[in-house]
Amino acid sequence: MPNECHFIAGQSRWDPVDIGSTVSPLEGPLGDVGAVWMFCDPSMESNVWGSTLTGLRQEKIFTWSARLRPEGWEPPGESDEHSILWRSGKRTATHQFQELPRFESKYQVFDNTEPAVRRFIGDLTARSSGFAFALGSRDESNDSWLRSAQIMENHFALSRDFKNSIDLESQRRKIASLYVSFSIKAGFLPIIPLNKHPYAGFTLFCPTENYPDIFRNMSRGTTALEGGEATAQITKFLGQGGDLAYL
């Protein structure tokens, strides 16, 4: 890792074979989708997320979070000012968590500011399948975000309780890939955190046509790798046990 607080590696088009086949959450090609990997020391994660994401042009942060709940639980009748929807649903299997057969979904939108980014990072102490995060431009995008992130409800409803079959895990990976592709078509920049082994950070997905501008904005003030250098760094990260956090 370069001797600085963070650095980035860019792919103008997502590589589903050499890179995509070795990450855990995604399966198959994503189409005309680029990716910018931002690597940082875990102790610097909050600062780097805040400074990097607020430097982009998107005005809003769209989030989805889910938690397991006991039978009979329903979302509260009132929500905070940032919440655009609460939902609850049934898991398709429980295995290890039979006492928690339902899940809560919460959708929110915030201004793209450092305090808002830091709050989100605080919720990522444990990387889990219950988070989705994207940048967007307008409050009018609420309905589009609901349609995108509801794909992840299906993902979360499928059990990941340490007894999953290969086919079930493949289904989860395909759902996450669909979420990324659909979100980009809806005008969002979906972001998947890294798993903090050995680096923290995130991978931001974007349309290939917008990749040069996004990469340029994210690379200001830090080391930026592309082409073979970027692929080598990403491959090294994955080879050391690094991965996208499991959505």
* Residue 141, amino acid: S
Q: What percent of the chain has pLDDT over 90?
A: 48
User: In this structure, is residue 1 part of a structural domain?
Assistant: no
Q: Which of 161, 181, 119 is nearest to 246 (CA)?
A: 161
User: In this structure, is residue 247 part of a structural domain?
Assistant: no
User: In this structure, is residue 184 part of a structural domain?
Assistant: yes
What is the C-alpha separation between 195 and 10, in angstroms, rounded? 18
Neighbours of 55 (CB within 10 A): 12
What is the C-alpha separation between 185 and 172, in angstroms, rounded? 20
Q: Tell me the pLDDT band of 94, cut-offs 50, 70 and 90.
A: low
Q: What is the pLDDT of residue 120?
A: 81
* pLDDT surpassing 70 at residue 217: yes
User: In this structure, is residue 245 part of a structural domain?
Assistant: no
- What residues have CB less than 8 Å from 188, skipping those under 6 apart? 62, 134, 135, 136, 141, 144, 145, 148
- The count of structural domains within the chain is 1
User: In this structure, is residue 139 part of a structural domain?
Assistant: yes
Q: What percent of the chain has pLDDT over 70?
A: 90
Q: Which domain holds residue 203?
A: 6-239
- What's the predicted TM-score (pTM) here? 0.91
User: In this structure, is residue 25 part of a structural domain?
Assistant: yes
User: In this structure, is residue 69 part of a structural domain?
Assistant: yes
Q: Tell me the pLDDT band of 2, cut-offs 50, 70 and 90.
A: low
Structural element, H or E, at residue 120: helix 114-122
User: In this structure, is residue 166 part of a structural domain?
Assistant: yes
